[in-house]
């Protein structure tokens, strides 16, 4: 029987433009990235990676594709906002956000959602 327990798995999602994604993830979010054969790799702190691939008919994900745990969500929102990141605002009682786009005390972690240039949803959330 195949056992994938020790496989170094990684996730991936599509973007509409690799150079635009590279600029955003590297310069706006400050991630280490590499590019090979038109595919972008995000190198995360825990040594895992995320593969971003171009797709001509890209449709943004309607769910959060990547979460960044941070010690202080409000501070992260303030710093990312200075870099031009715009945070999403939701009025749903399950995850209502405040004026900064931060969802607090809604039965889950403190979290704020934003989109990459391709419209994929990302978040910064309170470390658990």
39-78 confidence digits (pLDDT tens): 999 999 877 889 999 999 999 999 999 999 999 999 999 9
The CA distance from 34 to 42, in Å, is 7
User: Would the pLDDT of 19 be above 80?
Assistant: yes
Predicted local distance difference test score (pLDDT) of residue 122: 97
DSSP label of 33: E
Tokens, residue 19: 């150079």
Q: What is the mean pLDDT of the chain?
A: 93
User: Would the pLDDT of 109 be above 80?
Assistant: yes
- This prediction has a pTM of 0.91
Top-confidence residue, 35 or 2: 35
Predicted local distance difference test score (pLDDT) of residue 93: 84
The CA distance from 75 to 54, in Å, is 32
Over range 12-18, report the average pLDDT: 97
DSSP label of 24: I
The CA distance from 92 to 119, in Å, is 20
Over range 98-118, report the average pLDDT: 93
């Amino acid at each position: 029987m195949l056992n994938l327990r020790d496989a170094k798995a990684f996730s991936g999602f599509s973007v509409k433009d690799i150079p635009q994604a590279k600029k955003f993830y590297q310069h706006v979010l400050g991630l280490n990235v590499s590019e090979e054969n038109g595919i972008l790799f995000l190198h995360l702190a825990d040594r895992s990676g995320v593969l971003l691939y171009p797709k001509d008919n890209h449709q943004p994900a309607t769910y959060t594709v990547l979460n960044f745990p941070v010690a202080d969500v409000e501070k992260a929102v303030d710093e990312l906002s200075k870099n031009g990141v715009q945070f999403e605002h939701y009025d749903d009682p399950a995850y209502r956000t405040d004026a900064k786009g931060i969802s607090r005390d809604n039965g889950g972690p403190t979290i704020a959602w934003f989109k990459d240039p391709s419209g994929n949803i990302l978040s910064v959330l309170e470390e658990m």
